[in-house]
Amino acid sequence: MPQDDRLTDRVRRGAKWLDRAAGGWTSLVEVATLDMSDPGQCVLAQVFGRVGDAYLRGLTRLSLDAPPGADPYRLAWEHGFEVASTDQDLAPLAYDVLTQAWKAEIESRRFYA
């Protein structure tokens, strides 16, 4: 599946944020079940606990690290945790492409670790 450079750049930005916010995060992610369209199986959910609404816990943490007044959903999009209307040219596979971009980033980090 081809990856879109815009998504890849956002995923890298999100991975760098996770490096700071949750060091060692790649060991918490089960790549086989990773699904960015599922708030229970996305990167934020897998890193921040899968109990309750881990996606929102991760999103809250991202917002706390952002400038005051930042839109949390825009932050999620900018960091590759969410798709937006600007990704519609990738639809209906936007989440699939986003999931593949995260899998590639994680596998790359595990390989070079």
pLDDT block averages, 10 residues each, the chain of length 113: 72 94 94 92 89 79 80 87 70 82 94 71
Asked if 110 and 26 count as a contact pair (C-beta separation under 8 A), the reply is yes
Cα–Cα distance measured from residue 53 to residue 67, given in angstroms and rounded to the nearest whole number: 23
The confidence score (pLDDT) of residue 18 equals 94
Close Cβ partners of 75 (under 8 Å, ≥ 6 residues apart): 59, 62, 63, 66
State pTM to two decimals.
0.84
